[in-house]
């Protein structure tokens, strides 16, 4: 069975951190309370995460949002994707 | 002034001219056709494949009509269609021996546009050494600027011109080899594919010409290995101003000294990172080429087209520069970089990659990200990766950026 949204987002955060994160930095746990800006992922890495998730999940909630949304924590980021996925499943 | 007709008439009669998959004719046969004195249009449009019928018409038109429009072929019949745009409105030839040839530009970064070109500025300036009888191959559409350059070069040097029928490049490469092609001009993108099509090398080649796209050191080195006996010339020319720079030292870019004295073309200058050219007779005007350059030591290197810049969250990225860095990565055979929409940064840098056969794309990707991070500003590192079988190349032999 394929990964759920939460697991997919966390896997992508880790993958992108390994390639685009600061060199020689330890891999963060990406727990829900982690502040995105303090995770070591800058705006480019963040764009890579969103792009990669678009490829893996088939949607980009930032494109679909009616207003700009800036998730502050990893938890907010994940739930942004989960809510969008639920909206798609329900429609 | 030498007209195209005069240039063509320099070809010794009796020498085979069009060979390969076209009918073999001697130039003497085809030069005998003359435009009818009783039916002279002011302008004509030629939409055809190159053929033994096209040659004499080209020769006869030059200097006889005001304007010739060259366009893409319509049906692939090989028949010359002479569409008399202003047919026989006036029987008096008024062009005073000067004909404008109208080409379509290759449209690398936009829709193709038509451009007029006086015939004398088309003529090749390079002299061919005595005793050297080249066999030129033609891979470009002959009715484009690059194709006409090859065509004229062949005609002026008394060469045969090998014209493989359009289609699969590997098959065309085979025709060129079978016909013992010695002189060949192509874009770096086409050369990359030619090198894979004939991995055993191009040992027959004595002259390799590259142009139309940024020529990087990697392709120059690859050609040197594949054709050790060949002279390698990379040229910078544009449909707008004609031939500008010619370099034969095997190094990418051109010497800084060309800015003081350009040995084989018009004066050059750099303004705000853009290459400027002053074609003869246009002083004190400078033509802005739209090509960005940077000075590195004693070389001027081409960076890319100003029109292809990608805006990543406000930072400018030149896709050709990213492509060059990608090509330095072991395992990457070809690369195309373009901007794609991003919901968070406006645009991001996307890379389409062809990996060498048998390699794992994900392994190559990791190496490429690491290499780009060490060589490029942060925002220029590709954010999206696609692994493809091959890259689209336009009819003009350039990487399709649309």
Using a 10 angstrom Cβ sphere, with 0-12 exposed, 13-18 middle and 19 or more buried, the burial of residue A72 is: exposed
User: Is A44–B345 a contact, with Cβ atoms under 8 angstroms apart?
Assistant: yes
Task: Region of A17 please: left (phi>0), alpha (psi -120 to 50) or beta.
Answer: alpha
> What is the per-residue pLDDT for B42?
42
Prior bond of B284 cis (ω within 30°): yes
* Closest to B67 measured CA to CA, from B33, B25, B47, B95: B95
How far is C-alpha A11 from the geometric centre of its chain's CA atoms?
9
Q: What is the pLDDT of residues B267-316, one digit of tens each?
A: 999 999 999 999 877 788 899 998 999 999 999 999 888 888 898 888 88
**Looking at the partner chain, which of A20, A23, A50 has a beta carbon nearest the beta carbon of B344?**
A50
Write down the H helix ranges in B62-120.
Answer: none
> What is the per-residue pLDDT for B343?
84
> What is the per-residue pLDDT for B62?
61
Interface of A with B (CB under 8 A): 19-20, 23, 42-44, 46-48, 50-51, 60, 62-63
| E strand or H helix that includes residue B193 | helix B188-197
Cα dihedral B368/B374/B375/B377 (nearest 10): 100
pTM: 0.67
> What is the per-residue pLDDT for A3?
76
How many beta-carbon pairs below 8 A join chains A and B?
40
Q: What is the pLDDT of residues B316-374, one digit of tens each?
A: 899 999 999 999 999 999 999 999 888 888 889 999 999 988 899 999 999 999 999 99
User: Is A50–B342 a contact, with Cβ atoms under 8 angstroms apart?
Assistant: yes
d(CA B352, CA B391): 8
Q: What is the pLDDT of residues B13-31, one digit of tens each?
A: 444 444 444 333 333 333 3
């Amino acid at each position: 069975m394929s990964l759920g949204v939460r697991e997919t987002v966390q896997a992508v955060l880790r993958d992108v951190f390994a390639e685009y994160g600061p060199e020689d930095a330890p891999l963060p746990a990406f727990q829900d309370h982690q502040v995105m800006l303090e995770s070591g992922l800058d705006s480019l890495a963040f764009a890579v995460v969103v792009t990669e998730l678009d490829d893996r999940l088939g949607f980009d909630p930032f494109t679909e949002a009616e207003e700009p949304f800036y998730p502050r924590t990893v938890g907010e980021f994940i739930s942004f994707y989960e809510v969008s996925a639920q909206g798609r499943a329900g429609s | 002034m030498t007209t195209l007709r005069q240039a063509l008439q320099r070809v010794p009669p009796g020498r085979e001219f069009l060979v390969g998959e076209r009918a073999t004719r001697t130039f003497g046969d085809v030069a005998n056709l003359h435009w009818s004195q009783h039916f002279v249009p002011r302008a004509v449009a030629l939409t055809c494949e190159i053929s033994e019928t096209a040659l004499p018409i080209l020769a006869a038109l030059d200097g006889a009509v005001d304007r010739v429009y060259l366009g893409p072929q319509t049906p692939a019949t090989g028949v010359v269609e002479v569409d008399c745009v202003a047919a026989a409105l006036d029987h008096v030839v008024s062009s005073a021996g000067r004909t404008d040839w109208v080409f379509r530009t290759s449209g690398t970064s936009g829709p193709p546009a038509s451009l007029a070109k006086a015939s004398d500025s088309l003529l090749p300036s390079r002299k061919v050494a005595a005793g050297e009888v080249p066999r030129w191959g033609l891979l470009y559409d002959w009715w484009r600027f690059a194709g006409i350059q090859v065509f004229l070069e062949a005609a002026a040097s008394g060469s045969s011109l090998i014209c493989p029928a359009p289609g699969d490049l590997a098959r065309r490469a085979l025709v060129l080899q079978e016909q013992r092609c010695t002189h060949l001009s192509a874009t770096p993108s086409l050369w990359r594919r030619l090198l894979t099509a004939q991995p055993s090398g191009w040992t027959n080649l004595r002259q390799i010409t590259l142009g139309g796209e940024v020529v990087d050191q990697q392709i120059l080195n690859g050609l040197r290995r594949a054709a050790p006996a060949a002279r390698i010339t990379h040229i910078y020319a544009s449909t707008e101003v004609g031939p500008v720079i010619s370099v034969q030292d095997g190094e990418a870019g051109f010497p800084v000294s060309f800015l003081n004295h350009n040995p084989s073309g018009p004066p050059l200058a750099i303004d705000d990172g853009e290459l400027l050219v002053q074609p003869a007779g246009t002083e004190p005007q400078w033509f802005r080429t739209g090509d960005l350059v940077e000075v590195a030591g004693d070389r001027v290197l081409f960076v890319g087209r100003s029109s292809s810049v990608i805006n990543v969250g406000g930072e400018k990225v030149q896709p050709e520069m990213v492509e060059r860095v990608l090509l330095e990565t072991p395992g990457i055979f070809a690369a195309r970089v373009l901007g794609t929409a991003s919901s968070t940064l406006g645009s991001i840098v996307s890379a389409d990659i062809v990996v060498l056969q048998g390699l794992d794309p994900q392994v190559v990707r990791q190496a490429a990200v690491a290499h780009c991070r060490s060589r490029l500003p942060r925002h220029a590192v590709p954010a999206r990766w696609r692994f493809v079988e091959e890259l689209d190349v336009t009819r003009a032999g350039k990487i399709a950026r649309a």
